[in-house]
Amino acid sequence: MQRIYFDNSATTCLDPRVLEAMRPYFDQWYGNASSLHALGRESYNALEEARHRTAKAIGAQPREIIFTSGGTESDNLALQGAAFANSAKGNHIITSTIEHHAVLNTCRFLESQGFRVTYLPVDPDGKVDPESLKRAMIKGTILVSIMAANNEIGTIQDIRELGGIAHDAGAVFHTDAVQSIGKVPLDVGKDNVDLLAISAHKFHGPKGVGALYVRKGMNLRPLVYGGGQERGLRSSTENVPGIVGLGMAIEICMDGMEGNVERMGSIRDRIIMGTLSSVDGCHLNGPKEGRLCNNAHFRFDYVEGEALVLSLDIKGIAASTGSACSSRDSETSHVLKAIGVRNEHARGSLRISLSRMNTLEEADVYLEAIPEVISRLRAISPVAMLSKSSNPGV
């Protein structure tokens, strides 16, 4: 059976070129990057090359890149690090209601430590209104954190404008760019970003490695203390193979970005238009314009999202009901709630997320499967039956 992988916002497959680049650092050049001998120096040089590649991809200086264990740690280091380091200036933080849990739960923790957090609402497309950010800024606002693009519904935020507003008021601006990197052009200087989180496994790199961009001169308190690696901000012996993989993956991703964004965008559009036109009672979540080139997110009336994902899986198509992090609990997505989708409607959600490895032919296989899968699920849905008997027109 042909396997189609449409869950690339959860994670991506490793690019074979990335694996090749990483391989020698497992079994040949296994030295500790802090060691003085040749094996150590080889690791150190590989680490610095990866730092250059990562910095170049986002318009930063190599010294401004701190390697971490992934997006979650990068977000934690950014938020906790900036909050605690700036607590003498104020205790107010602003974020949005549709952030990833790596940001939201860190904000909850910071609230327990005496910080005050404002959670900005979003419009029905998932956009943060810059005016609402302006209104929320107060004298003691030390930090603003707004994601560059949402992992569930694909909304892209205008981070340049939001970052500018934060800076005008003297606050630090952090953005979670885990989903946008390689899909939305970015330059940390022009985009008014002080702290930016990325994660290698979202762009065909390995899992368990990420980076935080920390603007020169920024004051951060570390999360872990130890041997002082990564300029004292992230002690622990560096994950050299993983970091080499991140550097290679980000370089490949940036080299082909323009063409890949266009190609993914046309596959996404075929999926969106084909699904909406072939299935009644289907709605697009997130914006029509200004959404990630790899994201399509639907809700289907009278269908259970889990049953839909499993039915597609039987046909060899891997997709998800929402974000991977929330797909195993039955809580309604906080993102769908925030854009005003009612609980019972949110449960019939499907997220298709693409990567540069997907093809138009795969989209066509999905488009052939989806009307049949939906009508079969509706035929056995007690909710659809009840609704039909009370409203025969449905």
Catalytic residue numbers, as ranges:
325
The least CB distance from residue 191 to ligand PLP, in Å, is: 17
Among 96, 151, 260, 333, binds ligand PLP (CB under 6 A): 151
Q: Which of residues 301-340 bind ligand PLP (CB under 6 A)?
A: 324-325
Q: Is 178 in the site for ligand PLP (CB under 6 A)?
A: yes
Q: Is 72 in the site for ligand PLP (CB under 6 A)?
A: yes
Among 57, 78, 128, 147, binds ligand PLP (CB under 6 A): 147
SS3 135: helix
Contact (Cβ atoms closer than 8 angstroms) between residue 199 and residue 253: no
For the chain, what is the total number of helices (H) and then of strands (E)?
14, 12
CA distances from 159 to 130, 145, 166, 202 (A): 9, 10, 10, 20
Instruction: Please name which of 199, 167, 163 lies closest in space to residue 180, comparing C-alpha atoms.
Output: 199
Q: Is 70 in the site for ligand PLP (CB under 6 A)?
A: yes
The least CB distance from residue 178 to ligand PLP, in Å, is: 4
Q: Is 66 in the site for ligand PLP (CB under 6 A)?
A: no
Binding mask 18-57 for ligand PLP (x = CB under 6 A): ----------------------------------------
Among 102, 153, 159, 233, binds ligand PLP (CB under 6 A): 102
Q: Is 176 in the site for ligand PLP (CB under 6 A)?
A: yes
Q: Is 100 in the site for ligand PLP (CB under 6 A)?
A: yes
Q: Is 393 exposed, middle or buried (0-12, 13-18, 19+ CB in 10 A)?
A: exposed
CA distances from 87 to 93, 94, 171, 203 (A): 11, 14, 12, 35
Q: Is 157 in the site for ligand PLP (CB under 6 A)?
A: no
Sites of contact with ligand PLP (CB under 6 A): 70-72, 75, 100, 102, 147, 151, 176, 178-179, 199, 210, 324-325
